[in-house]
Amino acid sequence: MSIGATILMIVFFPLNSFLFLHESWIGGNQVQADSSVGSESIVGLVKGVEIQKQIELPKPKAQASDDPQFLPARKNGIDDLVVSNAHASVVIDADSGTILHYADGRTHRQIASLTKLMTAVLTMEKVKDLDEVVTIDEEAVYAEGTKIGCPRSGYCISPRLKVGEKITVRSLLQAMLMNSANDAAIALANHMAGSQDAFAKMMNKKADDLGLVDTNFCTSSGLDLDDENAAAGCYSSAYDIARIAAYSLRYDTIWKIARLPSNTIVTSVDGKIEHTILNTDQLLDQMPNIIGAKTGFTPLAGYSLLMVVADPSTKHRIVGVVLDDPQRWQDIKTMVSWTFNSYTWN
């Protein structure tokens, strides 16, 4: 194949195909800031070959901004970050989508309640009025694990949802994002799509629209399926969920909810039932410039965590993800510190 044909082939690769090709070349090692998808990375791949400066590429999708004002650059002499406790870890620049730290970022894994970020995105896009009323069904009420009123399985601090109870989409979003309530996720999905299966199809359609190639959702909540063989077909990756989180930053409401304090009260529409919602974010009042976090745990997924943090100027936002990491809180702090000490934005 001629050099010209090779260049033409690279230039017109779709966004997700290009990333797959690039990562296969680096062999799963850490990807530096110059791996951002754009004209600079194309030039880097064909170094020494003169090409036109103006190259049309697909518009970015799964990131916070279609036209980022700043791009990160790694400082000289910085050692790679190693997160030894995590089975997968990724840090990306939220606005440009640039990969800042990468370890097993495309490995398919269960992601537990990190799934709920996609449910939140679809809620923002499909429900025009967050004060719209949802009628709670039996499937939501009998959900396993964390539920509204019960911040941990078997530990309840306020009334649970009742069959037939009417509650707003906004209240369910709060419970789902703050306390990772599975009944809230199921209720929202059934309200929007009619069933969990139909909503999972909506989730996967959105993932495809965003160019995500390592994700297949099965539920709105991220709960493990009872059938282990079926559960193996429900997965995402540290990199894909980081990109979903970056995209979700387009919706301020999601992250305002993520920062609400524990003991927030939501009520049924008639005001007769009050539910107390806790926040699972242990660093909410400890880490400066935190935008929000989402926790996840199931026996198959292990302990996972996603966090969005801004730098002191608040102009630059990063997304950090650890999957299956028993030291997730300490490791995410280390990742944030390393990233802001290792990069500048220009």
Question: Rounded to whole angstroms, what are the CA distances from 302 to 30, 87, 326?
Answer: 23, 10, 8
**What pLDDT, on the 0 to 100 scale, is given for residue 226?**
84
For residue range 188-213, list pLDDT tens digits in order. Answer: 999 999 999 999 999 999 999 999 99
Task: Pick the catalytic residue from 41, 171, 180, 304.
Answer: 180
Distance CA 323, CA 110 (A): 9
Distance CA 98, CA 144 (A): 37
**Among this protein's residues, is 96 annotated catalytic?**
no
Compute the Cα dihedral for 290, 215, 239, 300 and give only its sign. positive
Task: Pick the catalytic residue from 36, 113, 171, 342.
Answer: 113
Distance CA 54, CA 66 (A): 17
Q: Are 118 and 244 in contact (CB under 8 A)?
A: yes
User: Strand, coil or helix: what is 339?
Assistant: helix
Q: Are 150 and 141 in contact (CB under 8 A)?
A: no
Domains of the chain: 1-58 (no CATH), 112-345 (3.40.710.10)
233: β partners: none
**What pLDDT, on the 0 to 100 scale, is given for residue 13?**
33
Q: Which of 295, 292, 322 is nearest to 310 (CA)?
A: 292
Task: Pick the catalytic residue from 65, 116, 206, 268.
Answer: 116
User: Strand, coil or helix: what is 292?
Assistant: strand
User: Strand, coil or helix: what is 217?
Assistant: coil
Q: Are 336 and 320 in contact (CB under 8 A)?
A: yes
Q: Are 139 and 190 in contact (CB under 8 A)?
A: yes
Other beta carbons within 10 angstroms of residue 261's beta carbon come to 12
Report the chain (346 residues): mean pLDDT per 10 consecutive residues.
41 36 31 34 34 47 94 96 98 97 97 98 98 98 96 92 98 98 98 98 97 97 88 95 98 98 97 97 94 96 98 97 98 98 97
Distance CA 133, CA 147 (A): 19
**Among this protein's residues, is 180 annotated catalytic?**
yes
Tokens 């880490």 map to which residue? 287
Question: Rounded to whole angstroms, what are the CA distances from 124 to 4, 86, 187?
Answer: 44, 31, 15
Q: How far is CA 84 from the centre of its chain?
A: 21
**What pLDDT, on the 0 to 100 scale, is given for residue 197?**
97
Tokens of 163: 């069959």
**Among this protein's residues, is 236 annotated catalytic?**
no
**What pLDDT, on the 0 to 100 scale, is given for residue 326?**
98
Other beta carbons within 10 angstroms of residue 244's beta carbon come to 27
Question: Rounded to whole angstroms, what are the CA distances from 85 to 103, 299, 311, 323?
Answer: 12, 17, 25, 9
15: which residues sit within 8 A by CB, 6+ positions away? 37, 57, 58, 60, 61, 211
Distance CA 12, CA 196 (A): 37
User: Strand, coil or helix: what is 15?
Assistant: helix
**What pLDDT, on the 0 to 100 scale, is given for residue 246?**
98
For residue range 17-49, list pLDDT tens digits in order. Answer: 334 333 322 223 334 333 333 333 323 333 334
